[in-house]
Amino acid sequence: MEHTSCLFCTLAHSQQAIVWQDKLFFAVFDAHPVSPGHTLVIPKRHVVDLVDLSVAEWTNLHNAIKNVILVIEKTNFKNVYEKRLNKCPSNIEYWFLTKMLNHPKICSKPNAYNHGINDGKAAGRTVDHLHWQIIPRFNSDVDDPRGGVRFVIPELGNYKTIREY
């Protein structure tokens, strides 16, 4: 069921920003990337929560992620972000794109990936349409990447630190 007020349902029908798609999913480069190549994999059907995926969608999600990673690894993000910058994005998007264009690994293939979803408002979801985030990671992009997604709650992210009771 299409939701006309949903940003991702609108994107699914516009075809303008889509960088990959099949019959169940499509992908777009994130408008506010946290690293070069940050991409969203989105069900074409309006789905809010992960548990709402159909069996076919859940089964196909693996294929979608795999194919989108291939797109990420073949894309020149310097060109992508320069073109987007020239289309007069919002001030916020302009800031993110400029940050990406100055990223030291902008022209490098990722060394790893963080994957995830914000499944609910308390988890940080801001668009009520399921989207799987693929965030490319590069050697030395942070001092210590151990803990990865555990750092959504910073104080508890590093499980190797000895703490006082």
Residue 69 has what DSSP assignment? H
Indicate the pairing of strand 18-21 with strand 39-43. Answer: unpaired
C-alpha 91/C-alpha 162 separation (Å) is 42
Residue 163 scores a pLDDT above 90: no
Residue 160 scores a pLDDT above 80: no
C-alpha 76/C-alpha 57 separation (Å) is 29
Domains (range + CATH), the chain: 7-157 (3.30.428.10)
Please check whether residue 120 is in contact with residue 92, taking contact to mean a CB–CB distance below 8 angstroms.
no
Q: What percent of the chain has pLDDT over 70?
A: 97
For 21-35, the pLDDT digits (tens) are: 999 999 999 999 999
pLDDT of residue 37: 97
Residue 127 has what DSSP assignment? S
For 140-156, the pLDDT digits (tens) are: 888 888 888 877 777 77
For 4-19, the pLDDT digits (tens) are: 789 999 999 887 899 9
Closest Cα to residue 60, out of 78, 48, 74, 45? 45
Q: What is the largest CA-CA distance in the chain?
A: 54
For 72-105, the pLDDT digits (tens) are: 999 999 999 999 998 877 899 999 999 999 999 9
Mean pLDDT of 47-65: 97
pLDDT of residue 7: 92
H or E segment and range at residue 62: helix 55-74
* Joined tokens for residue 66: 């795999």
pLDDT of residue 10: 92
